[in-house]
Each structure stands twice: as C-alpha cells, then as structure tokens.
Amino acid sequence: MIDTLTPLTENQRAIQNMARDFARSELAPHAGRWDREERGDPAITARLGALGFLGMMLPESVGGLNLDTLSYLLALEEIAAADASTAVTMSVHNSLPTRMLLNFGSPAQQQAYLPRMATGELLGAFALSEPEAGSDASALRTQAVRDGDFWVLNGTKAWVTNGNCADVILAMARTDTADARRGSRGISAFIITPDLPGFRVGKKEQKMGLRASPTVQLAFDGMRVPADRLLGAEGLGFVYAMQSLEAGRLGIAAQAVGIARAAVEATIAYTRERQQFGKPLTAFQAVEFKLADMATRLHGARAMLHATAAAKDRGEPAGAHAAMCKLMASEAAMWITTQAIQLFGGYGYVTDYPVERLFRDAKITEIYEGTSEIQRIVIGRALASA
Ligand code: CAA
C-alpha cells in the first residue's frame, strides 16, 4: 500500500530488496540504541561498502556499481526507513565527495581515492559550511595561500558529517587574496586527508536528531596541502560544490521519504492495534483522515523524487527539481512525523516506540544541504530566469 507506484526494472527491484533486507536485519534492530548511545557501529560502513552501497553511481572502472539515480534513491529510502543516521553517511559519501572526485578530479586523483571509496575502505566527507557561513555559503573565510608545492590552509569548517571518521574530505577554501576578492569565484576545492599536518577535529555537536551520525567542526591550522590536491580548476570550487549539492539534495529527499514511510508504517500498525472507547483507533474517522493525509503526502513526495531521478538519468537539468524534491520531501517528513506523534499520544512522546526518534531525525532534513528557505530561493531563481 505504501510501496512505490513507480514501475521498476528487475535490477531496480533487486537493489531495493537487497537494501530492505539489510536495513531490516542489520540496522532496524539497533537504531534506537545507536541513537541513545550517540554512536553507530563502525562495522556498518564496511557492510555498506561490501554491498556496493558506497559506490552506487560510480563507474565500474573505479569499482562502482554504475547504477542509475533511481536505484540509488530506492536503496537510500530503505536504509533511512530503518536508520536515518546510516542513511546520511550513505547519502553524503555517494552524492558529494565521490561525485566531486568523479566529475572534477584528474584521472590520478580519481584512481588514488575512488576505488577505495567505492568499497568503503575510505569514507568521504564534504566541508563547505563554516560557523559564519551557512546558508550564505560563498561567504566562507577559510583561506588557502600558495607556498611552493603546497597550499597552506587556515580556517574552521562546520557541520561536517563524519568529519571525525572520514578518510577523504572535499573542502572548500578561498584562493583569492584580500586585496582582490572574487566572491564565489574566489573559492577552490581541495582533497583533504586527516594525516595532513595542521588538520584537527574540533567540537563534536550534541544534536536533537541523527544522533548516531557524528557532526563535527574541523580546524585547519596552517594545514599544508600538496598542490596536486587542488580539485579541478582554481576558483571553481563553489560551482563544483553547488553542482554536487543538486545530487546531494535528491539523496536527502530520499532520506526524508524513508523517515516518513517508517512513520506512516508505524502509525498504521499502532492505530490498528490500539483500542480506545471500545474500538481500534482506525475505526475513528478523525484517525482515518489523518492516516490518509500522511500516506498521500508520502506518495506525492516519492513520486516527485522518482520522476526527477528519471529526468536526471535522461540527462535533463535537475537543479530546481532537486530543490523541489528536497523541499517537498523534508516538509512532508516533518509534517508526517508530527501527526504520528499525535496519533500515538503519550506513547509517541516516549522512547518505547520509534516515532519520537523519527520526529527528531526528520527535522534536520529541512535544514542541511540547504534549508527549506534556500530550496525556495533556488526554485524561485530558476523560475525567474526561465
Ligand atoms: N550548478 C553550477 N553552478 C552553480 C550552481 C549549480 N547548481 N549554483 C550556483 N552556481 C554558480 C552560479 O552560476 C554562479 O556562477 P557565476 O560566478 O558564473 O555567476 C556562482 O555559482 C555563484 O552562484 P550564486 O550567485 O547563485 O551564489 P549565491 O552566493 O547567491 O548563493 C545559494 C546561492 C543557492 C544561496 C547557495 O549559497 C546555497 O546553496 N546555500 C546553501 C548552502 C548549502 O546547501 N549548504 C549545505 C552544506 S553541506 C551539508 O549540509 C553538510 C552535510 O554533510 C550533510
């Protein structure tokens, strides 16, 4: 009833089933504990790698599965329905650092990292935001100065998913100079590894949700980065990051759909079973209407996501549609999980059932990889310039 209506190929169905089996057996039983303990199981990254889930859209030449966008999003939905913290690891790794290396890296850079990123031997992260540059990403201040065969980086990156356990971090820094600022065109992308002198993991955030997924600050204190770690062309780092975020936002939309689906499923099961005033909650029309609205919003968000994935795979530009998908799916997830708590009543407010975790996890999907307000800006600008 709440499965996708999108016609799937045999291969897409196989990927979906593989992800569902893995999520139900290896993630769902532990997600509540990982959330309480604020740490996941590090072995899960290796499992994701072994299943091919960390190189889903990479070509076979670098060890990827070379899958289409819809297959990737189907797998992400399944993972997120069981554990949204694992889903963000999978989404960031697949959508941001690996895509940036694939799209803009030199053949030598690709060979140095991508085959091991595809297997999960190396985990990727993405460092764009800073304490004073969140939505206004091009206001970032981390400075890179050329010194012979090195770039020397100073600054602080913020909100870095897996920044404390990543092996390869795609970080944006200014390469323009104070007397000739070039705005977003003064930003370049660098391939950072934690072994570089001057690299330090800073504050770990205490979060409302996604508590099993670490989010940290990174400090670059005179960090010396070999010159061959510059990604692509100097001054294009912001453009590369924006382009990569288009794919990232589809991933976060799939994560939101997964969270929303888990909430709808849990609420249907609970309201069928729970008796009040001598009958199951589903016998009350007020409950029936709420369930109908929850399932309808879930279907709408997922249908838009799948249509956009198909358009992207046909080679059509997906920027504004990716923003629409993230906007619609994240707001649906927040609304749906809010209704779920209400239908569970007191039991929704305590940790005995998963809906309070789903509610907390849903909130971040309206914030990271661009807030809902930023998605509206992206959509609005596309409409105005069409
Ligand atoms: N593809 C290619 N180029 C793009 C682009 C895209 N999707 N979007 C913008 N650009 C280009 C523009 O064409 C422009 O190029 P020119 O210099 O040739 O004109 C340049 O980039 C600058 O673009 P804008 O003028 O639109 O830049 P802006 O400063 O007005 O910012 C913004 C636009 C949409 C608000 C952008 O800052 C933004 O997306 N902000 C949100 C940042 C964000 O999503 N951060 C999330 C961080 S990742 C994360 O959440 C952590 C995690 O690990 C999950």
Q: Which residues in the chain are classed under CATH 1.20.140.10?
A: 239-385
Tell me, in angstroms, the distance from the centre of ligand 1 to residue 274's CA: 47
Q: Is residue 27's pLDDT more than 70?
A: yes
Residues of the chain with CATH 2.40.110.10: 124-238
Q: Which residues pair with 153 in a beta bridge?
A: 144, 223
Task: Identify the architecture of domain 124-238 in CATH.
Answer: Beta Barrel (2.40)
Is residue 181 a contact partner of residue 129, using CB atoms and an 8 Å limit? no
Query: Is residue 230 helix, strand or coil?
Result: strand
What contacts 24+ positions apart, CB below 8 Å, involve 108-112?
108/228, 109/191, 109/228, 109/229, 109/231, 110/62, 111/62
At residue 128, does pLDDT exceed 80? yes
Give exposure, 109-135, as e/b (b: 16+ Cβ within 10 Å).
bbebbbbbbbbbebbbbbbbbbeebbe
Rounded Cα distance between 82 and 115, Å, is 27
Element containing residue 199 per DSSP (H, E): strand 199-204
CA 243 to chain centre: 15
**Of 120, 6, 127, the residue nearest 73 (C-alpha):** 6
* 130 belongs to the catalytic site: no
- Tell me what the mean pLDDT of segment 354-361 comes to: 98
Q: In whole angstroms, what is the distance from residue 19 CA to residue 5 CA?
A: 18
Nearest atom (ligand 1) to Cα of 136: 37
> Can you give the pLDDT at residue 1?
59
Q: What percent of the chain has pLDDT over 90?
A: 97
Q: Which residue in the list 316, 366, 369, 373 is annotated as catalytic?
A: 369
Query: Confidence class of residue 371 from pLDDT cuts 50, 70 and 90?
Result: very high
**How far is Cα 68 from Cα 306, in angstroms, rounded to an integer?**
11
Cα within 13 Å of Cα(36), Cβ side: 8
Write the class of the CATH domain 10-118: mainly alpha
177-220: pLDDT as tens digits: 999 999 999 999 999 999 999 999 999 999 999 999 999 999 99
Name the residue among 175, 174, 145, 171 with its Cα closest to residue 158: 171
Question: What pTM did the predictor assign?
Answer: 0.97
pLDDT tens per residue, range 240-257: 999 999 989 999 999 999
The Å distance, Cα 273 to ligand 1 centre, comes to: 47
Domain 239-385 CATH (choose: 2.60.40.1180, 1.20.140.10, 1.10.10.60, 3.30.70.890): 1.20.140.10
In this structure, the residue with its CA closest to atom 25 of ligand 1 is 184
Q: Which residues approach ligand 1 with their CB closer than 6 A?
A: 92, 126, 128-129, 135, 137-138, 159, 161, 184-185, 238-239, 242-243, 245-246, 319, 368-370, 374, 377-378
> Using an 8 Å Cβ cutoff, are 186 and 176 in contact?
yes
